[in-house]
Structure 1
């Protein structure tokens, strides 16, 4: 069943379906949403998935985004009398899943809210009214009758500190909310078309789960203690049924690779305060792009002993300014300061919560302890926008590169000298990639470019994973490939080779004009092509980005492309 709204600008629909025995999904389809959460771009919209499980008693797992209020409540009451809902299970309290909890409780005041201790605490601040509650721990069970015995798995930081999974033993369905999901909106309930969804699945992991890779590994271990899982009912995108083993295996592979890093950065934030969570996720994403492991900790619910242990084994610390009035967060900051040690690296950013702890005294305290500051403190004077999140991601990348600099130098010296020289004899042209997505722009000097197909016209680019522009080159993104001219490339090459500070305008002082796809064309380039990313392949420390060409032009037909020769092949 599908219900359409009367909105013409943004398509919002509801889809309901029996997905297994006694179980109905209510999927809120947000077709045109193009930004989400930590402000990463969406190519295919998203969904918010809710579920009804009927035994002798009835449980509702999660709700929906508040933008679907009337549609969702009309659909819910059309399926079930709210007075028959015995339990409202909260996988976690982020508003896109719990935005209608207060509305559901108004219709079903008899329902018992089931969640982790942290989730119940968060809901008390959100609902502002008494409600029946049941706090669950890992391994706790809830019997709905008729074989529907629910078992709870604690999965903190996936990607909020209050997350739980719910496993229905009768249907072998695991309800995981954010984990194993993707921002992908379609009429398909399940994951039968793996090729169509795998790029969005991996991009979602990189943005939301990679910064919590250690928590992913812990959750997978707990999932391994359950009986066979036949379906994973996610909170976003299609449900996993046809490719459960394959897709959970990818999470395991990606997360194990992420946690093998010798270097760890602890990122401290306050999950329900200002923009602390979103900003910290952007910083964490930038750090993980450099191959550095990240562990995220909510200052509001942090265990002092765990904080002390984490700080002690971390090479870097990133801290969101907590609310000055929060005694719990202030105590946690005190624990961080007490455990911090000389030669660690630190970064501080404002949360824009209205009552932030002042930045400068906090920075000074860490300096006095002998820590080096990785990037200038990020001060936010207006509501964070796309440029703010880009600034945070680039600051995180700078921190990660600072921590891995010595290791990378050692690796460069480790190759056989003859092999280095032989590999360096592979020559390439000189190009500038330029991209723009909404207000965010980027550019990169590239030499690993090669035509890859005739029909359609296409080529590949190797993009290092820690390059800032990498976030603007996801499947479906558009950019311009600018070809540099032999004998007339030094100015552009020198400009785009320099290191830009986080958030800096790459095009300051450079002549450009807009392409049809919105990306900058370099006026002094020999030629340009407007392109679209078609696919990406993971190649260790680079992405191989295959792109198709929509249009192009040569400004000097008789001129030649600039060619780049390297002396060695193990670094640029």
Structure 2
């Protein structure tokens, strides 16, 4: 998979990366990630996005150019929609072997090209409404979409083919399995891509959901026939599908979530775990999905995926010394950072002498616009009466969540 045609004169020259490294140094990618890069050839040649020297991606990218008989010195433009190093880590090296290439980016991108790579010569800035004519009918239009998810981000639209090169917008984790296109994916792995996309959004994009909706609105008048993001599938058969998915995900940051419950729990000696079982028993009386995650055993990346979409959230952990169980506090801080608000929430936990976990919970939750049930705190091992209250807490959250519609009104998924 070295060079794949998207349209006449337009090709994918990206790479699948299999690695045990963490994405952004934080998020596990056990299924890998695709680094998508593209070429557009008219009288002049443009490369849209690069790759990072990561898992052989730079070599694969160069092989893709070679398969198209493109020598580095023949590249006229390097279009950098987004300056995060997973897209641009190869910039300094590639520019050294493609000295004739003009880097095209936004004004804020220009500062980052200098900051990351020390490149100040032959950098051309563009803004919304600007265009670049490559000849032979290949005309590139640029639109800034700030904070999706960095402030310098833009998208590039090729007019003749109707392809939108969307940077991180509409992207996902995961590698291409057999084909890069959505309309060539077997039915059996569509759930794989749904999971990869939702986790990617929850980890990377969730904080900027309002900006995502603004960007989609800004692009609503563009005749998009294909969406080519920097990660994940190229949406050739049904580009509207991925737009609707991103609208849905962005609305999870509002009060438009799924009628599901995510339970996050941690226990030092089994006391909090005993109450967990009671809460699950109560919530299970209602026919709604329940996702259960234990900290620190499960990575926060997967926890965020389920919390993000769930209208119900129940958090259980003991007090550790004078505060919240540290692995849970880390997850709570991420929930705050990623703006996972507007949920029906329960909190429970065991304590010995101080009960400080609730204080930390209150400090974080005060900013989250959560509808919080009366916290269930117990000293040491829960009594039978307290266990009964745990079952009732599970029922109460589940009852509220079950009333929530399963789809955003007016949307077809």
Q: TM-score, normalised by structure 1?
A: 0.48
Query: After superposition, what is the alpha-carbon deviation per residue over 1:185-205, rounded to whole angstroms, capped at 9, x for unaligned?
Result: 133211233333001111111
Counterpart of 2:310? Answer: none
Residues 450, 460 of structure 1: 8 Å contact kept:
no
In the TM superposition, residue 165 of structure 1 has moved relative to its aligned partner by 0.3
Q: Structure 1's 449 and 52: CA in aligned 2 closer, same or farther, altered over 3 A?
A: farther
Structure 1 residue corresponding to 2:170, chosen from 177, 180, 193: 180
Separation (CA, whole Å) in 2 of partners of 1:133 and 1:222: 26
RMSD (Å) for aligned C-alpha atoms = 3.9
In the TM superposition, residue 99 of structure 1 has moved relative to its aligned partner by 0.8
Separation (CA, whole Å) in 1 of partners of 2:289 and 2:93: 50
1:27 is aligned to 2:14: yes
Residues 448, 461 of structure 1: 8 Å contact kept:
no
In the TM superposition, residue 130 of structure 1 has moved relative to its aligned partner by 4.3
Separation (CA, whole Å) in 2 of partners of 1:174 and 1:88: 16
Residues 199, 475 of structure 1: 8 Å contact kept:
no
- What 5-or-longer segments of structure 1 have no aligned partner? 2-14, 262-287, 289-430, 436-441, 453-458, 478-494, 507-540, 543-561
1:471 is aligned to 2:303: no
Counterpart of 1:211? Answer: 207
Counterpart of 2:349? Answer: none
Counterpart of 2:129? Answer: 139
3-state SS of the aligned residue for 2:253?
Answer: helix
Q: Structure 1's 503 and 153: CA in aligned 2 closer, same or farther, altered over 3 A?
A: farther
Separation (CA, whole Å) in 1 of partners of 2:80 and 2:394: 55
1:189 is aligned to 2:180: yes
Separation (CA, whole Å) in 2 of partners of 1:22 and 1:448: 56
1:233 is aligned to 2:228: yes
1:504 is aligned to 2:332: no
Residues 173, 231 of structure 2: 8 Å contact kept:
yes
Separation (CA, whole Å) in 2 of partners of 1:505 and 1:203: 20
Separation (CA, whole Å) in 2 of partners of 1:219 and 1:432: 33
Residues 281, 391 of structure 2: 8 Å contact kept:
no
Residues 175, 233 of structure 1: 8 Å contact kept:
yes
Residues 265, 317 of structure 2: 8 Å contact kept:
no
Higher helix share: 2
In the TM superposition, residue 72 of structure 1 has moved relative to its aligned partner by 2.9
In the TM superposition, residue 172 of structure 1 has moved relative to its aligned partner by 0.7
Query: After superposition, what is the alpha-carbon deviation per residue over 1:452-480, rounded to whole angstroms, capped at 9, x for unaligned?
Result: 9xxxxxx9862489x99783656999xxx
Separation (CA, whole Å) in 2 of partners of 1:499 and 1:140: 56
- What 5-or-longer segments of structure 2 have no aligned partner? 258-262, 307-314, 329-369, 372-386, 399-413
1:73 is aligned to 2:69: no
In the TM superposition, residue 20 of structure 1 has moved relative to its aligned partner by 1.6
Separation (CA, whole Å) in 2 of partners of 1:218 and 1:105: 33
Counterpart of 1:566? Answer: 392
3-state SS of the aligned residue for 1:113?
Answer: strand
The number of equivalent residue pairs is 308
Counterpart of 1:125? Answer: 115
1:247 is aligned to 2:237: no
Counterpart of 1:265? Answer: none
Residues 59, 89 of structure 1: 8 Å contact kept:
yes
In the TM superposition, residue 85 of structure 1 has moved relative to its aligned partner by 1.2
Counterpart of 1:550? Answer: none
Q: Which of structures 1 and 2 has the larger relative contact order (alpha carbons within 8 angstroms, sep 6+)?
A: 2
3-state SS of the aligned residue for 1:210?
Answer: helix
3-state SS of the aligned residue for 1:153?
Answer: strand
Residues 282, 391 of structure 2: 8 Å contact kept:
no
Residues 27, 47 of structure 1: 8 Å contact kept:
yes
Q: Structure 1's 258 and 476: CA in aligned 2 closer, same or farther, altered over 3 A?
A: closer
Q: TM-score, normalised by structure 2?
A: 0.65
Q: Structure 1's 173 and 218: CA in aligned 2 closer, same or farther, altered over 3 A?
A: same
Counterpart of 1:492? Answer: none
Separation (CA, whole Å) in 2 of partners of 1:59 and 1:502: 52
In the TM superposition, residue 497 of structure 1 has moved relative to its aligned partner by 5.0
1:462 is aligned to 2:290: yes
Separation (CA, whole Å) in 2 of partners of 1:128 and 1:472: 33
3-state SS of the aligned residue for 1:208?
Answer: helix
3-state SS of the aligned residue for 2:36?
Answer: strand
Separation (CA, whole Å) in 2 of partners of 1:39 and 1:149: 38
Query: After superposition, what is the alpha-carbon deviation per residue over 1:148-199, rounded to whole angstroms, capped at 9, x for unaligned?
Result: 1111110111111111100001111101121111111133211233333001
1:45 is aligned to 2:32: yes
User: Considering only CA atoms, is the larger Rg found in Structure 1 or Structure 2?
Assistant: 1
In the TM superposition, residue 496 of structure 1 has moved relative to its aligned partner by 5.3
1:170 is aligned to 2:1: no
Counterpart of 2:86? Answer: 96
Separation (CA, whole Å) in 2 of partners of 1:432 and 1:225: 42
